[in-house]
Amino acid sequence: MALFHIAEPGESAAPHQHKLAVGIDLGTTNSLVATVRSGMAVVLNDEQGRPLLPSIVRYLPDGQVEVGYGAQSWQARDPKNTVVSVKRFMGRGRKDIAHVESLPYDFVDEPGMVRVKTCAGVKSPVEVSAEILKVAKARAEAHLGGELVGAVITVPAYFDDAQRQATKDAARLAGINVLRLLNEPTAAAIAYGLDNAAEGIYAVYDLGGGTFDISILKLSKGVFEVLATGGDSALGGDDFDQRIFCWVLEQAKLPPLSHEDARLIMTRAREAKEFLTSHAEAPITVKLSSGPTIDLTLDVATFAEITRNLVTKTLQAVRKALRDAGLRPEEVKGVVMVGGSTRVPQVQRAVAEFFGQEPLNNLDPDKVVALGAATQANLLVGNKTGGDDWLLLDVIPLSLGLETMGGLVEKVIPRNSTIPAARAQDFTTFKDGQTAMAIHVVQGERELVSDCRSLARFELRGIPPMVAGAARIRVTFQVDADGLLAVSAREQTTGVESSITVKPSYGLSDDEIAAMLKDSMSHAKDDAQRRALKEAQVEAQRLIEATQAALKEDAHLLSAEEIARIEASIAKLQTLMLGDNRRHINLAMDDLGYETQEFAHRRMDQSVKRALAGRKVDDLNTAEEGSQS
């Protein structure tokens, strides 16, 4: 018997049309899965009722894989095969990883991404993350009683293209259809419903177990733009535990401790920290294996005192992020607290004081990112329509670019750029006296125009005649919050302008995007070769035209024999450039270059002579001084 959930008025799904979608917070330390039920975002617990899924994967020699709490218990005993914090390795090379020497893994450095050698073979971070996502998917399907239509997965705002792509690949490996990657701070803001609120600047303060992130977001027309990010990748709740640990050692004047006792005190320290979020004092009682019993009481004031500089450090990062965004604390309209460590009272107080307002903290800070992702997922699969039919379109799905000579694509805005976005690039004329330029706007990841999607064409006319390469044409691509692309071209010296508006995000369906991405991956090598060939052909054409123009003008500088040799060289290049052997084209170009070297010298001498003819040395000197002043 099916179980039902309450729908919005008039929106009951047809039978078997229920679209199951979840939000997944794929965290460094812990991951969470959430979904929307009867209009409410809820986190899905495991069979034991635990919401968190520790992001820990253990590989066993027989090829079995353990994920979560099961793997966590092996962290100390089997460190080489138990991968923790794999998120730090996503899309990273060995040299990108901080403190790589202190990590227990056997790294294998491979191009692109580092890999970890385990007893079950060499694993890439993508595969490790996929194991976590598989468990998340299984949990979601057990809860929802059906197959997932898709998921929104969150990534840090500062993740670059490689890291985002790695996350997507991991999801695909886990059999999850990624509806969208969503920035973690944006997800937190959505969980608080800020996307429905008025426009403004929001700060997301995310203090997790081992990392601190601050993001400054700007909301306009339902789109979040990340203005600035900052933080400290080695500052988190664990440091607060460490401070209490040190305080205990100091108070109890303990001799050096056994490993076991140290871990025991550390655990008590963490418990005390958690106790202090709702109590004024926390008792710390530890019976050490070495004999003595510690019996201390830590009060809130002391706790605040010993952790003061940790809090100050986070605020320094906040200040810097605000400065990067060119904003003052009072311009921030709301502050969202994310991460379990933001429960610490002095953190709450310091943030409230800094921004001059109470931060938003009524949602569970551990769950807020997953809840926001679930809300977004629910919306993207179309379970909620009408009323708030906004779509958070915050990245460009495929690169936008222009056609250049030879049918090549010059990318102007790369894929996954956050929108709104504006980029400009300068182009120039290819031929002497060229007065118009055709601008062909394309979308796609491939190197050749014929393999990308054509979006629009327009012409810039009225460029004053100049030698090839002298005109400066600035082409500006602008994608606004609605995903609309406007392209304008402007010749810089004369100000002649032309423009067009296109809708890139409606031009391609998700399937087409997926197919194109797949294409670009499988054809990357092919494309590079074809691009190189095209480039050689274009260069050959340019060289021939330049030489012919020079011959026309200055043939008198050459003997008949020399002219014949140059013309033979041109003819050879003309034949070869029609073929597809890049090496031959290049050799013929070298040959022509060699044959015309002497010709070039003579032309140079001639023009210098002409320029100097009839002028006195003194004139030259004054001219030089004039140009220097």
Could you tell me if 137 and 66 are in contact, meaning their C-beta atoms sit under 8 angstroms apart? no
Minimum CB–partner distance for residue 194 and another protein (Å): 16
Q: Which of 33, 36, 43, 44 binds another protein (CB under 8 A)?
A: 44
Minimum CB–partner distance for residue 15 and another protein (Å): 4
- The nearer residue to another protein, 370 or 533, going by C-beta atoms, is 370
How far is it, in rounded angstroms, from Cα 192 to Cα 65?
36
Order of all β-strands in the sheet with 82-84? 65-67, 56-59, 82-84
Which region, judged by CB under 8 A, interacts with another protein, from 11-19, 24-32, 332-340, 457-465?
11-19
Just list the catalytic residues.
Answer: 25, 87, 184, 206
Query: What's the first-to-final CA gap in the chain, in angstroms?
Result: 90
**Is 5 one of the binding residues for another protein (CB under 8 A)?**
yes
How far is it, in rounded angstroms, from Cα 374 to Cα 39?
11
β-sheet bridge partners, residue 477: 423, 487
Minimum CB–partner distance for residue 387 and another protein (Å): 10
Q: Which two tokens stand for residue 129?
A: 């993350």
Angle subtended at Cα 234 by Cα 302 and Cα 239, rounded to the nearest 5 degrees: 20
Minimum CB–partner distance for residue 117 and another protein (Å): 36
Are β-strands 53-54 and 65-67 bridged in parallel, bridged antiparallel, or unpaired?
unpaired
Q: Which of 6, 424, 470, 555 binds another protein (CB under 8 A)?
A: 6
β-sheet bridge partners, residue 457: 440
Residues 426-442, buried b or exposed e (16+ Cβ, 10 A)? Answer: ebebbeeebbebebbbb
Q: Which of 1, 198, 280, 578 binds another protein (CB under 8 A)?
A: 1
Which region, judged by CB under 8 A, interacts with another protein, from 2-10, 162-170, 446-454, 615-623?
2-10
Which region, judged by CB under 8 A, interacts with another protein, from 36-44, 66-74, 283-291, 531-539?
36-44
Q: Which of 23, 27, 32, 38 binds another protein (CB under 8 A)?
A: 38
Which region, judged by CB under 8 A, interacts with another protein, from 3-11, 456-464, 559-567, 580-588?
3-11
Per the listing, tokens 């899905």 go with: 44
**Is 384 one of the binding residues for another protein (CB under 8 A)?**
no
Binders of another protein in range 209-228 (CB under 8 A): none
Binders of another protein in range 91-150 (CB under 8 A): 139, 142-145
With contacts defined by CB under 8 A, how many residues of the chain interact with another protein? 28
Per the listing, tokens 């004054």 go with: 622
- The nearer residue to another protein, 5 or 117, going by C-beta atoms, is 5
**Is 624 one of the binding residues for another protein (CB under 8 A)?**
no
Which region, judged by CB under 8 A, interacts with another protein, from 42-50, 309-317, 394-402, 473-481?
42-50
**Is 16 one of the binding residues for another protein (CB under 8 A)?**
yes
- The nearer residue to another protein, 388 or 619, going by C-beta atoms, is 388
**Is 440 one of the binding residues for another protein (CB under 8 A)?**
no
> How distant, in Å, are the alpha carbons of 17, 311, 619, 621, 623 from that of 616?
90, 74, 5, 9, 11
How far is it, in rounded angstroms, from Cα 321 to Cα 231?
8
Minimum CB–partner distance for residue 7 and another protein (Å): 5
Per the listing, tokens 């990357």 go with: 524
Minimum CB–partner distance for residue 16 and another protein (Å): 6
3-state secondary structure 359-418: CECCCCCCCHHHHHHHHHHHHHCCCCCCCCCCCCCCECCCCEEEEECCCEEEEEECCCCE
Contact letters (x/-) for another protein, 479-518, by CB under 8 A?
----------------------------------------
Q: Which two tokens stand for residue 39?
A: 């209009």
3-state secondary structure 116-133: EEECCEEECHHHHHHHHH
Minimum CB–partner distance for residue 142 and another protein (Å): 4
Minimum CB–partner distance for residue 190 and another protein (Å): 16
**Is 388 one of the binding residues for another protein (CB under 8 A)?**
no
Minimum CB–partner distance for residue 410 and another protein (Å): 50
- The nearer residue to another protein, 2 or 617, going by C-beta atoms, is 2
**Is 63 one of the binding residues for another protein (CB under 8 A)?**
no
Of the candidates 203, 215, 460, the one whose C-alpha atom is nearest the C-alpha of residue 357 is 203
- The nearer residue to another protein, 38 or 493, going by C-beta atoms, is 38
Minimum CB–partner distance for residue 396 and another protein (Å): 34
Could you tell me if 214 and 226 are in contact, meaning their C-beta atoms sit under 8 angstroms apart? no
Q: Which of 14, 560, 578, 613 binds another protein (CB under 8 A)?
A: 14
Q: Work out whether the CA dihedral 567, 573, 574, 575 comes out positive or negative.
A: positive
**Is 8 one of the binding residues for another protein (CB under 8 A)?**
yes
Of the candidates 469, 458, 452, 468, the one whose C-alpha atom is nearest the C-alpha of residue 409 is 452
- The nearer residue to another protein, 37 or 453, going by C-beta atoms, is 37
- The nearer residue to another protein, 256 or 386, going by C-beta atoms, is 386
**Is 9 one of the binding residues for another protein (CB under 8 A)?**
yes
- The nearer residue to another protein, 16 or 328, going by C-beta atoms, is 16
**Is 11 one of the binding residues for another protein (CB under 8 A)?**
yes
Torsion of CA 41, 42, 44, 47, to 10 degrees: -150
Which region, judged by CB under 8 A, interacts with another protein, from 31-39, 158-166, 175-183, 467-475?
31-39
User: What are 314-320's contacts with CB under 8 Å, separation 24+?
Assistant: 314/205, 314/207, 314/212, 314/214, 314/232, 314/235, 314/347, 314/350, 315/350, 315/351, 315/354, 317/212, 317/214, 317/230, 317/231, 317/232, 318/203, 318/205, 318/214, 318/230, 318/354, 320/230
Which parts of this chain interact with another protein (CB under 8 A)? 1-12, 14-16, 18, 37-40, 44-45, 47, 139, 142-145
